[in-house]
Amino acid sequence: MTFAEKKEAFDRNNPVTESSLVRFIGVDGFDVYNCSIPFEWKGKRYIYGRVERRSEWARSWVRLFKETGNDEFSLVENSMIYQLEDPYISIIGNEITMGGTHVQYQRGEIDTLYGYFYKGTDLENMYYFTTGPDNMKDIRLVQLKQGIGVFSRPRNTEVEKEHGSGSIVGFTVINNLLELSADIIVNAKKIDGMFSTGEWGGCNQCYLLDTGLIGIIGHKCYEDTDQFVYVNVSQVFDPTAHKLLDEKIIATRKSYPSGPAKKPNLKDCTFTSGIVMRKDGKADLYGGLGDTLFGRAVIDYPFEGFGGIVV
């Protein structure tokens, strides 16, 4: 069964029974989408969101929001503004690490893009510390028992010619954040079996499991006639064997409340953020919707049988 067929089967028997849209206060006239997962820091709950006008593309800012209600976050006024897209966070040691995509223009046209990384213990005063490789999105970090896991995501015509898929994912381990560099990331060893011909995707949030395995919440994509299809997936990776052990679809665009898309070809897109565990043992899955909205869906624990998430 192809991945597209698996997606169609999931939509026919959609197991997601609870979902909602996340509301953002303080940014009237702008959409907020493709956010980080919500996270707790010094007793409060926050989220980094991509803020952009509906009529514009690749002209966004990343802003910090604080939880002020159920599925509601309000802008932290006078907080740092980042000229980035699609933010994500990791807790590395005692610091927050925030990354995002910076789009570079030349002569009014998009030239390339880079992953920028910031770190710190004060959300009002984060420090830039490194840049990823040229034209690479979706670089992700995860704290391991020893060292830091780094997932790369090369995507270009050379990758497609060599591997057949639109992107690949690589993995390597560094000792500390000072070692994180474009060279380290670009030379991460490829993980086999993630994507087939015509597919692409990447990791969005990664979790150390108590078995030593790594749980990945990611996205997998393909084109269907005039539509881009983005799907939320979970995967389990064995860093010792450097092997993918499991993959399944955990949500599609139909799993979330309906809403507008930025462009007609983005109606079937949900760009994954990650999960936050619930007290009832299920997980809140978060994702951007059609490049206009941000949603939450309640799902079963996606790494069942492979270990629990190390807090």
| Residue 307 in domain | no
- Whole-number Å distance between alpha carbons of 25 and 73: 6
The predicted-structure confidence for 48-85, as pLDDT tens digits, reads as follows 999 999 999 889 999 999 999 999 999 999 999 999 99
The predicted-structure confidence for 179-221, as pLDDT tens digits, reads as follows 999 999 999 999 999 999 999 999 999 999 999 999 999 999 9
Domain span at 178: 3-299
| Residue 59 in domain | yes
| Residue 65 in domain | yes
Q: Residues of the chain with pLDDT > 70: what percent?
A: 100
| Predicted pLDDT of residue 3 | 96
| Predicted pLDDT of residue 29 | 97
Strands (E), 145-242: 148-152, 170-174, 189-190, 200-208, 214-224, 227-238
**How large is the average pLDDT for residues 251-255?**
98
How many structural domains compose the chain? 1
| Residue 306 in domain | no
| Residue 304 in domain | no
In contact, 270 and 253? CB cutoff 8 Å: yes
| Predicted pLDDT of residue 311 | 87
Report which DSSP code applies to 132.
-
3-state secondary structure of 71: coil
- Tell me the CATH number at 38: 2.115.10.20
Mean pLDDT of the chain: 96
| Predicted pLDDT of residue 110 | 86
| Residue 193 in domain | yes
